[in-house]
């Protein structure tokens, strides 16, 4: 790799070169980052402390919250540091690691969303087999498989990108290291690499999305046959948040990676990655807790325990 490239660092393009707007960028990302940390950490704490939530559904939700914390931490802290320090550089190996972790966590989250769709399918369509199939060992294996698939997928993508020679320029037209802008900087023919990435992304994405869609076709067929309105409402309330998260995550990522590259990056090219790199980790805890009575009840219990504990030390 050292013999092929003369670039030792990359420059990440900020949202603006004006100092006041860079401070605004820092404050906005700080607010978003803190919101993501608080929301996902609360989900992890609530699911861990409340024994009523010790079920496969909430076990997967807790792991997704942890993935969201890792996912947003791969990009946002570095962007905030660059904005406040007015430095936009990232080392060659730092860019490699940032891209590796970003793709690993993002791909693992898509795999986990697929697992969660299978969990809902079993719970609604085969409730008598649910506890037998979704035991603790199987759930742990599914989560481990999601992480492993994310890491393997990332190795293929990142290796396919960073084996290319980079001779300059070194300005990445994005606020973090991502594959499309990095490929534009290589001084070799990148068409085979782009084709490889598209085929790999489509295959992995198609398998996950197809599995989710097939699961929900069976789920909706089963739910519509439930005679009571209350039963249908309860079933839909556990499925709609998951579908909302899948639509947001997959839709923004697909738009970003499948759209044609432009020679002069626009404001849209800078804002779209925010939708799939920053927004999902913030909205996921809100989406999953907004209509979930069990999480709301658990949150009230945790707050009550906190007040009782504080009262004892007064």
Give residue 229's Cα distance to chain centre: 34
HSE-CB of 137 using CA atoms within 13 angstroms: 2
Q: How confident is the model at residue 256 (pLDDT cuts 50, 70, 90)?
A: low
Calculate the dihedral angle through the C-alpha atoms of 167, 171, 175, 181, rounding to the nearest 10 degrees.
-60
Q: CB 93: neighbour CB atoms within 10 A? A: 12
pLDDT tens digit string along 6-65? 778 888 877 767 777 788 888 999 999 999 999 999 999 999 988 888 899 899 999 999
Residue 10 host element (H or E): strand 9-12
Could you tell me whether strands 89-91 and 171-172 are parallel, antiparallel, or unpaired per DSSP bridges?
Answer: unpaired
The 3-state DSSP composition of the chain as helix, strand, coil percent (nearest 5) reads 75, 5, 20
Radius of gyration of the chain (CA): 22
pLDDT tens digit string along 261-279? 555 556 666 777 787 788 8
Domains of the chain: 9-312 (1.20.1070.10)
Give yes or no for residue 5 having a pLDDT over 70: no
pLDDT tens digit string along 116-156? 999 999 988 888 889 889 999 999 999 999 999 999 999 99
- Return the closest-CA partner of residue 63 out of 115, 132, 131: 115
| CA–CA distance, 238 with 100 (Å, rounded to integer) | 32
């Amino acid at each position: 790799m050292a013999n092929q490239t003369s670039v030792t660092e990359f420059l990440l393009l900020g949202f603006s070169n004006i100092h006041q707007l860079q401070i605004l960028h820092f404050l906005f990302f700080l607010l978003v980052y803190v919101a993501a940390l608080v929301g996902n950490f609360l989900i992890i704490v609530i699911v861990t402390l409340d024994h009523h939530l010790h079920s496969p559904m909430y076990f997967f939700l807790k792991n997704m919250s942890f993935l969201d914390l890792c996912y947003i931490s791969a990009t946002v802290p570095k962007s905030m540091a660059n904005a406040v320090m007015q430095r936009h550089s990232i080392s060659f190996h730092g860019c490699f690691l940032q891209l590796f972790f970003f793709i690993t966590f993002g791909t693992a989250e898509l795999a986990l969303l697929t697992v969660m769709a299978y969990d809902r399918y079993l719970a609604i369509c085969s409730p008598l087999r649910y506890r037998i199939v979704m035991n603790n060992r199987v759930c742990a294996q599914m989560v481990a498989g999601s992480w492993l698939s994310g890491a393997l997928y990332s190795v293929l993508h990142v290796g396919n990108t960073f084996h290319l020679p980079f001779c300059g320029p070194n300005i990445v037209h994005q606020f973090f290291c991502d594959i499309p802008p990095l490929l534009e900087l290589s001084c070799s023919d990148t068409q085979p690499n782009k084709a490889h990435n598209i085929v790999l992304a489509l295959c992995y994405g198609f398998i996950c999305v197809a599995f989710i869609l097939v699961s929900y076709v069976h789920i909706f067929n089963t739910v519509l046959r439930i005679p009571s309105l209350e039963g249908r409402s309860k079933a839909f309330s556990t499925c709609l948040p998951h579908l909302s998260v899948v639509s947001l995550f997959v839709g923004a990522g697909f738009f970003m990676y499948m759209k044609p590259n432009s020679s002069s990056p626009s404001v849209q090219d800078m804002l779209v990655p925010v939708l799939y790199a920053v927004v999902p980790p913030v909205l996921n805890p809100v989406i999953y807790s907004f209509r979930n009575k069990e999480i709301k009840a658990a949150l009230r219990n945790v707050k009550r325990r906190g007040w009782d504990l504080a009262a004892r030390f007064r």
